[in-house]
């Protein structure tokens, strides 16, 4: 079987044309965007709040504010708020104190000034709640046979 030279020539021409089309179609905007991103990468990020320590007054404010919000939130869903207030207040105080120990300046600013909860505060809250609510002694089952 003899191959036609016409088909061979068409394939070569199409492949060369596609290569030239790909190489020839450069976008000037992409090179401008690359220079903008390169200059933006050189700009230093401000980490002043990351390295700064939280003052004791900010920690105290955080503890009181968080404790009040916690009690308010828990009593809102309570069937008997008067009886639950002491129990909930003690648990919320423990949680707020536990969270205050390793509070960062960014978290304090977000909570106290911007009135937002950072994701790290949510994680710390769950850890503190687990820690504080596990301190209660578990109920013991009744002993059926013999002395305990």
* pLDDT value of position 140: 59
CB atoms under 10 Å from CB of 86, counted, come to 9
Q: Could you give the CA distance from residue 89 to residue 143 in angstroms, rounded to a whole number? A: 33
* pLDDT value of position 67: 93
71, 89 in Cβ contact below 8 A? yes
Confidence of residue 53 (pLDDT cuts 50, 70, 90): confident
pTM: 0.55
Domain ranges of the chain: 52-133
Q: Could you give the CA distance from residue 60 to residue 55 in angstroms, rounded to a whole number? A: 9
Q: Could you give the CA distance from residue 84 to residue 68 in angstroms, rounded to a whole number? A: 14
* pLDDT value of position 43: 47
Is the pLDDT assigned to residue 86 strictly greater than 80? yes
End-to-end CA distance of the chain: 99
In this prediction, residues 97-119 reach a mean pLDDT of: 87
With DSSP H G I counted as helix, E B as strand and the rest as coil, what are the percentages for the chain, rounded to 5? 70, 0, 30
In this prediction, residues 37-47 reach a mean pLDDT of: 48
Q: What is the dihedral of CA 121, 126, 127, 133, to 10 degrees?
A: 130
* pLDDT value of position 83: 87
> pLDDT digit string (tens) for 122-139?
899 999 999 888 866 555
């Amino acid at each position: 079987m003899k191959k036609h030279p016409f088909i061979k020539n068409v394939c070569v021409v199409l492949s060369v044309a596609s290569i030239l089309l790909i190489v020839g179609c450069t976008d000037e905007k992409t090179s401008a965007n690359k220079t903008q991103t390169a200059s933006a990468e050189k700009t230093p990020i401000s980490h002043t709040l990351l390295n700064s320590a939280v003052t004791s007054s900010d920690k105290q404010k955080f503890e009181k504010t968080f404790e009040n919000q916690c009690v308010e939130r828990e009593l809102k869903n309570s069937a008997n708020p008067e009886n639950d207030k002491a129990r909930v207040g003690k648990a919320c105080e423990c949680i707020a104190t536990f969270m205050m120990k390793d509070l960062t300046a960014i978290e304090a600013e977000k909570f106290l000034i911007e009135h937002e909860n950072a994701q790290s505060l949510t994680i710390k809250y769950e850890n503190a709640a687990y820690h504080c609510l596990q301190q209660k002694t578990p109920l013991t089952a009744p002993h059926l046979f013999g002395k305990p």
